[in-house]
Amino acid sequence: MFLKIVKNDFYRKKITTVTVFVFITMAVLLGASATNIVANLIQSMSELQERAVPADITVMHAGEYDQAEIDQFAEKYRDHIVMQETMDLQNIDGSNIHFGQNQTMAGTIQDISFVVQNKKFDFILDLDNEKLEVKEGKVAVPIYFMEQYDLKIGETITVKSGGYEKEFVISDYARDFEMNSSLTSSKRFVINQNDYDEMLEMQAGELEYLIEFKLNENGDSQAVQAAYIKAGLPANGPIVGGTIFLLFNAMSDATVVMVIILISILLIIIASLCIRLTFLATIDEDLREIGVMKAIGISKKDIKNVYLNKYRVMSVAAGIIGYLLSFVLVNLFNGNMRLYISSELSGNLKYLLSFIAPLFVYFMIVMYSKKILKRIDKISAVEALRSDIMEHGKNRKYSFPLLKNKFFSINIYMGLRDVWKRFKLYRLLFFIFAVCTFIVILPLNMYNTVNSAGFSTYMGIGKSDMRIDLRRTDSITEDNKKLQEELKNDSDIEKYAAYITSSYQVKNADGSWDYINIEIGDFSVFPLKYLEGRAPEGEGEISLSFANAAKHGLNKKVGDEVTVRVGGEEQILSVTGIYQDITNGGKTAKAHTSLGVNEEAVLWYIVSMDLAPGVNIREKMDYYQNAYDSAQVNDIKEYTGQTLGNIINQMSLIVIGGIAIAVIIAVLITALFLKMLLSKDMPRIAIMRSMGLTSKNIKHQYMAGTLLVLILGIIFGVLATNYLGEFLVSIAMSTMGAAKIELVNIAWQTWLLCPLALIVVVGYTISVCCKVTEDDDLSVTFRS
């Protein structure tokens, strides 16, 4: 019996039912996909971690060291440390690595090193997550470069450095837990021990070491790091904890998951609103039926069941379809994960976890329907039989009288005032248009922000055209002097500033000593946007990155003091400002030149510069690249682009997806809304037609109203993106070290292109759907 009623109801309201069904299916589809991706991410990350056994502490060091001292240290801290291994790296400049048709890797911002597979832990894996075993003459290239330069297995790369030249055949791709992400600025190529020895003998690259520690389950990473530094063991490079690699690995996939979850929540809300609208639009129609059912003694529960069953059946069917389809959709988003984390995403967790989505949607829909159907309790049989029940109690003050209209034709005015009078009905559409604007503009603004030159602000560097990074070589100090001299005399360079980053000891909040990387130089040349305060301009001044100043860092505010040890002496510096930085785990600092360089632990030299107008940046970059062999010359835009490459790619996918989803939702809901509104308003339309209004007149009324809602929705959506969107993005980015992201808002895109595109699409939908039927006899409506 119930099925029969559901079936009849479906035939009666085909379009409405199908639309609601599509929304529930889409909500389940996206919800299940998102949970599926989360499940895959959790499972494959843990599998990757299990196979790669990453280090819990990695100390980067260039220069001599004594392994015996490190062994003694590891022995002393046996309670924490399970294993220790030192990996030797030979750094080769990208310009010395040749591939394809005379191409080199010179353009990369990554530090490239050649290594041999570790013996105890921190293994570099192949795409099957097996430990790489590379034969003589072969090489395993990092996935990052495989994507960047489209390198295929069987192709060759040639390393030419000084007197050394050797061709390697690519035998595998290297999945490197520690250095997979484009956010990690080093990449490791794996070669055979014999090839490595030959390279070493020929002094092809600069030697660097990764002194790695694997801790036991209860090992205290912070304590070991502090003890390591206190022991004065080799550490002139950054010390990195294991969790940062985990974060980098998961980040780009986690971003996609967050966006998908957000969209699926929106779809659930939209589906619920559609159901509400369906009830609102048809309750008048059904009211008499409800009255009759009540009058003949059918219980409230049974009446509700008649209406509820339809949504129960729909939710179950949509749930099954959405759940099954999610396994297809998930493959679209898994590409990145398959490549970087695990090729085999076959765990069972995803089947179970993603089943939560249809269950959740089912209960949401049924609960929501029940809530709406509570109205039935309030309507008595007699009231239900009186058709004007819904109009009772509306003695509000009369607004927008017809004579007040000075600017519009009467039909346009009627349409506009209808929105005011029945905003409860129109607010669904308003909400949808605002949401559609939001999901188009927020990803677009995020994409523009990440892609903008100004994004360097969030990477702790001021906006400049070009930068030169000098590597740690024996001649680094001379190179630096020479470079500055040359820049001073180069008329093509408008302005430049040199910065030296070295490692210093800093006193923690608890009084213990920790290491901190401090950059010194003149920060007024390329000013950085500060969250609070300003750049260090005078003696004894320092500014901290957001993550360093945060509670879990040094816990400092502007005006506080920081104690730094330089050359055995303690200096007290005052904090002048806090800035945002997502590089180097977010923990950096900047100080006035008077602090002095810690010659023992210089990490890198950077020179930022702006070119004079009309100077070709490419040519300038080539010139300095050739003049300084070991330098890395980058266009700032390219630098940020490469560092954030993966995120930018994922973002562009989200932008396209956002636009597609927004258009589909806007068109479907507008069509559905108008269909329901026109059917609800049939008596009103018949009255106006009987007075002599043409269908066109009436169409104009509905078009004006809907367009007004569209414009209001767009305005609200844009404002919401600018304020709420920025807030949400900042929350997400604060985990990375940027607490206050200012979204780049390209006015013609935000205020012109996107709204115009939405207006055109929705406007066309409105004009097509806003059809007032002319064929039926008018009296049919009056007499029904």
Partner 1 sequence: MTNIIEALSVNKKVKLGKDNELHILKNINLEIEEGEFVSVMGPSGSGKSTLLYNVSGMDRITSGSVKFKGREIGGLKEEELAKIRLKNMGFIFQDINLLKNLSLIDNVMFPALVSKDADKKAVHQKAKKLLEMTGIEMLADHNITQASGGQLQRVGICRALINNPDIIFGDEPTGALDSKSTKEIMSILAEINKKGTTVMIVTHDVKVAAKTERVLYMVDGNIVAQKKMRKYNGHPDDIKEKEESIMKWLAENGF
Phi, psi of 495 (to 5 degrees): -155, 155
Asked if residue 551 binds partner 1 (CB under 8 A), the reply is no
- CA dihedral sign, ordered 678, 682, 683, 689: positive
* Residue whose token pair is 């609960």: 367
Under 8 Å between Cβ of 48 and 85: no
Asked if residue 401 binds partner 1 (CB under 8 A), the reply is yes
Decide whether 64 or 777 has the Cβ nearer to partner 1.
Answer: 777
- Nearest distance from C-beta of residue 708 to partner 1, angstroms: 15
**CA 690 distance to own-chain centroid:** 56
CA 8 → CA 14, 211, 264, 496, 630, distances in Å?
10, 73, 30, 77, 78
Contact region for partner 1 (CB under 8 A) — 241-249, 415-423, 598-606, 619-627?
Answer: 415-423
- Nearest distance from C-beta of residue 432 to partner 1, angstroms: 23
Tell me the helix, strand and coil percentages in the chain, rounded to 5. Answer: 55, 20, 25
Contact region for partner 1 (CB under 8 A) — 49-57, 253-261, 638-646, 690-698?
Answer: 690-698
Asked if residue 394 binds partner 1 (CB under 8 A), the reply is yes
Decide whether 468 or 686 has the Cβ nearer to partner 1.
Answer: 686
Taking CB under 8 A as the criterion, the residue among 276, 386, 422, 740 binding partner 1 is 422
Taking CB under 8 A as the criterion, the residue among 402, 488, 491, 510 binding partner 1 is 402
Contact region for partner 1 (CB under 8 A) — 102-110, 238-246, 398-406, 573-581?
Answer: 398-406
Rounded distance, CA 437 to CA 715, Å?
A: 9
Q: Cite the beta strand spans of 555-601 per DSSP E.
A: 561-566, 569-579, 589-591
**Contacts within 8 Å (CB) and 24+ apart, 149-157:** 149/99, 149/100, 149/103, 149/105, 151/99, 155/99, 155/100, 156/99, 157/97, 157/98, 157/99
Which DSSP letter does residue 458 get? G
CA 564 → CA 360, 502, 560, 574, distances in Å?
54, 12, 13, 11
Site string for partner 1, 351-390 (x = CB under 8 A): ----------------------------------------
Nearest partner of 607 among 521, 545, 528, 527, judged by Cα: 521
- Nearest distance from C-beta of residue 677 to partner 1, angstroms: 14
Rounded distance, CA 275 to CA 108, Å?
A: 53
Decide whether 98 or 417 has the Cβ nearer to partner 1.
Answer: 417
Asked if residue 417 binds partner 1 (CB under 8 A), the reply is yes
Taking CB under 8 A as the criterion, the residue among 491, 692, 747, 748 binding partner 1 is 692
Decide whether 405 or 734 has the Cβ nearer to partner 1.
Answer: 405
Decide whether 351 or 782 has the Cβ nearer to partner 1.
Answer: 782
Under 8 Å CB-to-CB from 55, ≥6 apart: which residues? 85, 121, 122, 178, 210, 212, 213, 214, 242
Decide whether 687 or 711 has the Cβ nearer to partner 1.
Answer: 687
- Nearest distance from C-beta of residue 5 to partner 1, angstroms: 20
Residue type, 256: V
Contact region for partner 1 (CB under 8 A) — 84-92, 446-454, 612-620, 684-692?
Answer: 684-692
Rounded distance, CA 641 to CA 648, Å?
A: 8
Taking CB under 8 A as the criterion, the residue among 154, 691, 747, 784 binding partner 1 is 691
- Nearest distance from C-beta of residue 649 to partner 1, angstroms: 52
Asked if residue 684 binds partner 1 (CB under 8 A), the reply is yes
Decide whether 414 or 544 has the Cβ nearer to partner 1.
Answer: 414
Decide whether 8 or 203 has the Cβ nearer to partner 1.
Answer: 8
Taking CB under 8 A as the criterion, the residue among 418, 465, 519, 581 binding partner 1 is 418
Asked if residue 706 binds partner 1 (CB under 8 A), the reply is no
The DSSP string of 397-453 is: PP-S-GGG--SS-HHHHHHHHHHHHTHHHHHHHHHHHHHHHHHHHHHHHHHHHHHSG
Taking CB under 8 A as the criterion, the residue among 28, 518, 655, 693 binding partner 1 is 693
Asked if residue 407 binds partner 1 (CB under 8 A), the reply is no
Binding-site size for partner 1 (CB under 8 A) equals 36
Decide whether 8 or 690 has the Cβ nearer to partner 1.
Answer: 690
- Nearest distance from C-beta of residue 12 to partner 1, angstroms: 16
Asked if residue 52 binds partner 1 (CB under 8 A), the reply is no
In 595-722, which residue ranges form alpha helices assigned H by DSSP?
617-627, 636-643, 645-680, 682-691, 695-720
Identify the bridge partners of residue 209 per DSSP, sorted by sequence position.
61, 88
- Nearest distance from C-beta of residue 693 to partner 1, angstroms: 6
Taking CB under 8 A as the criterion, the residue among 186, 563, 652, 695 binding partner 1 is 695
Asked if residue 424 binds partner 1 (CB under 8 A), the reply is no
Taking CB under 8 A as the criterion, the residue among 203, 380, 690, 767 binding partner 1 is 690
- Nearest distance from C-beta of residue 692 to partner 1, angstroms: 2
Rounded distance, CA 51 to CA 129, Å?
A: 7
Considering only residues 744 through 783, tell me which ones interact with partner 1, judged by CB under 8 A: 774, 777-779, 782-783
Under 8 Å between Cβ of 441 and 726: no
- Nearest distance from C-beta of residue 746 to partner 1, angstroms: 41
Under 8 Å between Cβ of 287 and 379: yes
Asked if residue 688 binds partner 1 (CB under 8 A), the reply is yes
Contact region for partner 1 (CB under 8 A) — 318-326, 378-386, 395-403, 533-541?
Answer: 395-403
Site string for partner 1, 304-333 (x = CB under 8 A): ------------------------------
- Nearest distance from C-beta of residue 404 to partner 1, angstroms: 10
Which tokens is 120 given? 């105890």
Q: Based on the number of CB atoms within 10 Å of its own CB, is 619 exposed (0-12), middle (13-18) or buried (19 or more)? A: exposed
Question: How many helical (H) and strand (E) elements, i.e. helices and strands, does the chain have?
Answer: 24, 21
Which tokens is 709 given? 């809602």
Asked if residue 679 binds partner 1 (CB under 8 A), the reply is no
Decide whether 1 or 691 has the Cβ nearer to partner 1.
Answer: 691
Decide whether 31 or 415 has the Cβ nearer to partner 1.
Answer: 415
Under 8 Å between Cβ of 459 and 582: yes
Cβ neighbours, 10 Å, residue 473 = 15
Which tokens is 269 given? 């809300």
Rounded distance, CA 519 to CA 641, Å?
A: 23
- Nearest distance from C-beta of residue 323 to partner 1, angstroms: 40
Site string for partner 1, 632-671 (x = CB under 8 A): ----------------------------------------
Binding stretches for partner 1 (CB under 8 A): 391-392, 394-396, 398, 401-403, 409-411, 417-418, 421-422, 683-684, 686-697, 774, 777-779, 782-783
